[in-house]
Amino acid sequence: MNEIQLKYGCNPNQKPSRIFMEDGSDLPVTVKNGRPGYINFLDAFNGWQLVSELKEATGLPAAASFKHVSPAGAAVGLPLSDTLAKIYWVDDLGPLSPLACAYARARGADRMSSFGDFIALSDVCDADTARLIKREVSDGVIAPGYTPEALALLMEKKKGAYNIIQIDPAYRPASIERKQVYGVTFEQGRNELHIDEELLSGFVTKNREIPAEAVIDMKIALITLKYTQSNSVCYVKDGQAIGIGAGQQSRIHCTRLAGQKADNWWLRQSPQVLGLSFVDGLGRADRDNAIDVYMGDEYEDILADGIWQTRFREKPPVFTREQKRAWLDQLQGVTLGSDAFFPFSDNIERAHKSGVRYIAQPGGSVRDDAVIECCDKYGMAMVFTNIRLFHH
């Protein structure tokens, strides 16, 4: 099949819509179930590229959670700690397969942004991963295959309408890619850059020591940025993106947005949040929203309005700014990647507040010296890749 008709394009008024192969060859995907839409396929194809590159770069199963053509999360299949299993709401599932751990991490780092995501998996979807996907709000999944049990589980989702796409892992696109904007065709060479150790060898700071696990995190950061709408910045810790700032017009806003998400990921692991007791029957998404409100500055208003009873069994104490800062100060060893150079050292100052120790960025700013000096002030190790990773 070299064409799939779609319900509509980005919006319901944009008809007709389809995906097809211009050369008449067969599409590299098969729709196993459902009716994926235009944006679903954009997320699916970007997500597949991301996870297949993560698998190639790390040797580990990988997963991504995509929303509106940017990843909300990306991770490799490292085991989950008891704390991570709890904050990702998977502690009731028992030991998970490596692929399921990858998706739990990708979905769990920024659960609010991942709500209604499109999932990409580097490996054949197994039953563990399917069980995890089945219980979350999601639009669909793309993978190189599905075990019979996994496929049966996923086909029960959304009353049998869940979008399931299988992609041929042997497919290789042409080296030149094209798209149209306003009736004008754009053409460019595909971004075939490989993120490897050699790319990460250009140290510019006094600290030139990066442990092996942080090298993996650098690869995850840069590969994630390769498929994130620019400008973009990515914080990574222990094999997973913990904060992604996408599509901002200024670099510092990317850094702040991603840093806030990384902070929220860490705050969810605090005793104050782990100790929250929710009312019976409160679903995972509602618990996520309740936690977000509890960690936010507006929580005191919730207390004053007396509506905390709709979310918590008992009245939680205020999580003070001082308590939050004390907990955040314990977050260390975070890796930061940027898709283009940092124009000012304010980005480094903000990154430091979220425990960043290792940085990978292209370099090339007229203020590189000031950025390097700021890294040296905090003992950070930074490499210049000399390669920009814009994605539009």
Residue 231 is among the residues annotated as catalytic for this protein: yes
CB 101 within 8 A of CB 77: yes
- Determine which one of 11, 13, 159, 392 is catalytic: 392
Cβ neighbours around 341 below 10 Å, total: 19
391 has catalytic annotation: no
Q: Catalytic site residue 392?
A: yes
Q: Which of 55, 67, 157, 237 is catalytic?
A: 67
Catalytic residue among 32, 68, 86, 324: 68
**Can you spell out the DSSP letters for 44-97?**
HHHHHHHHHHHHHHHSS-EEEEEETTEEEEEEE-PPPPHHHHHHTT-TTS-S--
Q: Which of 33, 163, 231, 347 is catalytic?
A: 231
State the pairing for strand pair 70-76/62-67. Answer: antiparallel
- Give yes or no: 67 in active site: yes
How many residues belong to the chain?
392
Backbone angles phi, psi at 62, to 5 degrees: -135, 155
Angle between helices 127-134 and 98-108 (to 10 degrees): 30
User: How many Å apart are CA 303 and CA 382, to the nearest integer?
Assistant: 44
- Report how far residue 187's alpha carbon sits from residue 292's, in angstroms, rounded to the nearest whole number: 43
Catalytic annotation, residues: 67-68, 231, 392
